[in-house]
Structure 1
Amino acid sequence: MTAVVHPGRTATSRRPVWWWVRLGATAATLAVLVWRVGTGPFLDGVRTVDGRALAAAAGIAVLTTICGAWRWRVVARGLGVELALGPAVAAYYRSIFLNVALPGGVLGDLHRGISHGRRTRDVGRGLRAVAWERSAGQVVQVVLTVAVLLVAVSPVRAAMPFVAAALLVAAVGVVPAMRWRAGGRSRWARLRRAAARDLHDGLLARRAWAAIVLLSALVVAGHAITFLIAARTAGATAPASRMVPLALLVLLAAALPNVGGWGPREGVAAWAFAAAGLGASRGVATAVVYGVMVFAASLPGAVVLVAAWARGTRSPPELAWPLRRGGGVVAPQDGVQDV
């Protein structure tokens, strides 16, 4: 008898291994930091957070969350699904809270994509919209970071020309990849066609790419300003011209696999601040302050979760009517609000 292989079971069985590797790497990073700088910077970072810093982080988070939700709407519209801005902002807040409160850093986005997909009766489309939205934001973040690090004094300035050249080569390769249509009916061919179609319709369409770039730049600017406030709160007195490259470098590292946002962010902050002559301890304290500020600013997402639980549901209000290309409208489930 031929054995039947269940891909879902295989992925599930492998998932704990990846989680433990991620957790182990984060724990090792933090352990090395404690060994090198002690627990003082961590405790100082928590103690120095004040109400003004938390209020500033919360105010900036409102703007960055609206920009992120708006970017999600733009991408989703390109994929054939409309989103109302208000519910989208609530869902985005919820995903941010879950990202910083749970290990992994992406569980909130995963839940956001699945929830939206169920509402529109197309989970695959919902997950793709979230994946492309986050990917687009990270691409813009990388480009902005490299551009700043090319001209500003930083510990990695010497390597930036090579990084910029690699990004240029990758960008040039996207164009033929979009135009190339894989033949055949294999799974790989279908994935290539779907990815090319999503890029063309959802991200690089004439009415989409400019909005995505602008909104992503505003999000990056908001996070950088929050980091600068965290640095000042932690006692760093270097001018902004010196701090901005470090902030962008640390924020880029924060996108690496982590546990609730912790791990790579603190490690790179310690290294970058030490290389810039500001002290590894100050870098760790700044990263800790930033982490506390981000967590506090994400608490409206917890309110969204509690409100959903109080209504007896597992997700926020319906996000939109599932509009399809060609004028077709799929009737929403009960409770869906018109856009």
Structure 2
Amino acid sequence: MTRSVWAWVRVLGGAAIIGLLVWKLGTSAFLDGLRVIDGGTLLVAFLIGVTTTVFSAWRWCLVARGIGMRLRLRAAIADYYKALFLNAALPGGVLGDVDRAVRHGKDTGDVGRGVRAVVLERTAGQIVLFVVGLTVLVTVPSPVLDELERHGAAAATTASIIIAAAATVVLGTRRLRAGTSRIARGARTALLEIRAGLLSRRNWPGVVLASSVVLAGHLATFVVAARAAGSTASVLRLAPLMLLALLAMTLPLNVGGWGPREGVTAWAFAAAGMSATQGLTIAVVYGVFAFVAALPGLIVLAARFVARSRTPQPLDEPVEEPVFVPAQRPAPRVLATTGA
């Protein structure tokens, strides 16, 4: 019940953001986002999407192999495209990742480890995004940097209080459950898999490289979207705004990826002295680019559906019914008689 409520909260939250944007800015920004797209920009965005998907799948392979699972790059690319399409087509934005985690786990006979491999793979990308994003936001002039200069002390104090409270809760919970061997084993397994999948000498260079290429690809897609929407701002000026949009996309309040990205982009462009409508248009163009880049996942879905339909299903073996054999009476014994 809790999961169902949270799923509805995510979807309704994203829908509320879109509704608020339509109320404040109208529908022209959404329509303009569709009008400014042409075949050339779609092709460029699609090719960038191919690069980011291949490197994302490679990162998944590195993490999965690091924790002892089998995963070929070709299969990983197909599953990743399928996940991207499901994330873009279904509410919530995470159902595709859940599907590829469970599928890989079933194929290898360990669903739990398959789920943890996907979680670690996505976490690696988020860590690189947060590190790069925070570095740019606190060094490059942007609305965020202006807000930090005005309210930096209050923000730091609030963050410290939140971190301290979270640490107290976590430590208290651990002490209360210190005697639970199951939790202790789970924590030990998680730490070992983090070390093997992300931090080992063989894996971390590739994981960082793949995550950096994926982040660069997303930023490049945003630049293409900005140019298609008519923005002439420099990449240096756009970078903090685009990173804010990417950080907003990690929030679990969206409808197929739509919602926080559009709201934050509109606010960031307005706060930076540009048009909120143009910021929303750029976000819409980026959303269309992301959906088109994920369309090969539909081909993967269709191909696997056809393959399953053509695979002959095993026939049920006929059950032999028992044959009733009537019991035979023994033949009467004939007594031999002797003549007198």
Establish whether TM, by shorter chain, passes 0.5: yes
Conserved? CA contact 1:57–1:297, under 8 Å = yes
Instruction: Report how far residue 157 of structure 1 moved.
Output: 1.5
Query: Which residue of the partner structure matches residue 214 of structure 1?
Result: 209
Given candidates 214, 239, 252, the residue that maps to 1:244 is: 239
Query: Which residue of the partner structure matches residue 307 of structure 1?
Result: 303
Residues 274-307 of structure 1 show CA distances to partners (whole Å, capped at 9, x for unaligned) of 0111111001100000000110110001100000
TM alignment of 1:192-207, pairs within 5 A: 192-207=187-202
TM-score, structure 1 as length reference: 0.81
In structure 2, C-alpha distance between the alignment counterparts of 1:77 and 1:126, rounded to whole Å? 11
Instruction: Report how far residue 255 of structure 1 moved.
Output: 1.4
Residues 118-170 of structure 1 show CA distances to partners (whole Å, capped at 9, x for unaligned) of 00010001111001100111011110111112221111014398899979xx9
Instruction: Report how far residue 206 of structure 1 moved.
Output: 1.1
Query: Which residue of the partner structure matches residue 40 of structure 1?
Result: 28
In structure 1, C-alpha distance between the alignment counterparts of 2:306 and 2:15, rounded to whole Å? 36
In structure 2, C-alpha distance between the alignment counterparts of 1:185 and 1:119, rounded to whole Å? 31
TM-score, structure 2 as length reference: 0.81
Residues 165-197 of structure 1 show CA distances to partners (whole Å, capped at 9, x for unaligned) of 979xx9xx9xxx9xx9x9654332222112211
What's the Cα RMSD here?
2.4
In structure 2, C-alpha distance between the alignment counterparts of 1:186 and 1:227, rounded to whole Å? 48
**One-letter amino acid of the counterpart of residue 189, structure 1:** A
**One-letter amino acid of the counterpart of residue 200, structure 1:** R
Identity of aligned pairs, percent? Answer: 53
Conserved? CA contact 1:146–1:164, under 8 Å = no
* Structure with greater Cα Rg: 2
Q: Secondary structure at the match of 2:308?
A: coil
Query: Which residue of the partner structure matches residue 232 of structure 1?
Result: 227
Query: Which residue of the partner structure matches residue 54 of structure 1?
Result: 42
Report how many residues are paired: 292
Instruction: Report how far residue 16 of structure 1 moved.
Output: 2.3
**One-letter amino acid of the counterpart of residue 289, structure 2:** M
Confirm or deny that 1:264 pairs with 2:260.
yes
**One-letter amino acid of the counterpart of residue 270, structure 1:** A
In structure 1, C-alpha distance between the alignment counterparts of 2:109 and 2:77, rounded to whole Å? 20
Conserved? CA contact 1:53–1:233, under 8 Å = yes
Shifted more, 293-302 versus 204-213: the winner is 204-213
Structure 1 gaps of 5+ residues are 1-12, 314-339
**One-letter amino acid of the counterpart of residue 291, structure 1:** G
Query: Which residue of the partner structure matches residue 141 of structure 1?
Result: 129
**One-letter amino acid of the counterpart of residue 303, structure 1:** I
Confirm or deny that 1:99 pairs with 2:99.
no
